[in-house]
Amino acid sequence: MAVVSKQDAARFETTKRLLTGLVNEGLAHAAINGQTLRLTGPTADEKYITVSLKTVPANFAGFIRPEMMQQPVMLGNGASEYPELDPGAIFLFATPWFAQDIDDEAKERVSKELSNSALFQEKWLELCAANKPLSIKSSFMDWEQSVVYGHPIHPLHRSCFALPPLSPVSPNDIPELLRPSVSIISVPRNAVIITGPFEKMMKPLMRKLDIPAIADDRAALICFTRQLPSIHARFSDVQILKQVGDQFEAQCSIRSLSTIPELQFPYQIKLPLAVQITSAIRTITPWTASTSPIITKILDELEPQLPESLWLFREEAAFCGSQSDFDDAKHLSCILRDDLEPKAAANGESLIIATSLFEQQPGDRKTRAEVVFNLDTEEQRLAWFKSYVRSLFKTVLLPAITLGIAFEAHQQNSVLRVCKTTGEIKGFAIRDYGGIRMHRPTLTKHNIAMDWEQPGGIMITDDIGYIWDNLHHALISNHIAHLVYSLRVDALGGWGIVRDEISALLGGYAAGSLGNQLLTFLLRDKMNLKCFLRMRFQSVYRSNVEKEVKNILYS
E runs forming strands in 100-157? none
Q: Cα separation of 2 and 25, whole Å? A: 33
pLDDT of residue 543: 72
Do the beta carbons of residue 250 and residue 256 sit within 8 Å?
A: yes
User: What pLDDT score was predicted for residue 541?
Assistant: 67
> Please, is 503 exposed, middle or buried when counting C-beta atoms within 10 Å of its C-beta (0-12, 13-18, 19+)?
middle
Query: Tell me, what's the pLDDT at 62?
Result: 86
* Whole-angstrom distance, CA of residue 237 vs CA of residue 189: 11
The residues, any chain, with a CB within 8 Å of residue 268's CB and separated by 6 or more, are 251, 256, 257, 258, 313, 336, 337, 338, 339
User: What's the pLDDT at 542?
Assistant: 65
Distance, CA of 350 to CA of 342 (rounded, Å): 10
- Cα–Cα dist 150/86, whole Å: 18
CATH 3.30.310 range(s) for the chain read: 6-126
pTM to 2 decimals? 0.96
* pLDDT digits (tens), the chain, 555 positions: 567 899 999 999 999 999 999 999 999 999 999 999 999 999 877 999 999 999 998 888 889 999 999 999 999 999 899 999 999 999 999 999 999 999 999 999 999 999 999 999 999 999 998 888 999 999 999 999 999 999 999 999 999 999 999 999 999 999 999 999 999 999 999 999 999 999 999 999 999 999 999 999 999 999 999 999 999 999 999 999 999 999 999 999 999 999 999 999 999 999 999 999 998 999 999 999 999 999 999 999 999 999 999 999 999 999 999 999 999 999 999 999 999 999 999 999 999 999 999 999 777 889 999 999 999 999 999 999 999 999 999 999 999 999 999 999 999 999 999 999 999 999 999 999 999 999 999 999 999 999 999 999 999 999 999 999 999 999 999 999 999 999 999 999 999 999 999 999 999 999 999 999 999 999 999 999 999 999 999 987 667 899 999 999 997
CATH 3.30.70 for the 6-126 domain, yes or no = no
What pLDDT does residue 2 have? 67
Burial-class residue 525 by CB neighbours within 10 Å (0-12, 13-18, 19+). exposed
Indicate the SS3 state at residue 157: coil
Residues carrying CATH 1.10.510.40, the chain: 348-523
Q: What is the CATH number of domain 348-523?
A: 1.10.510.40
Break the chain down into helix, strand, coil percent, rounded to 5. 40, 25, 35
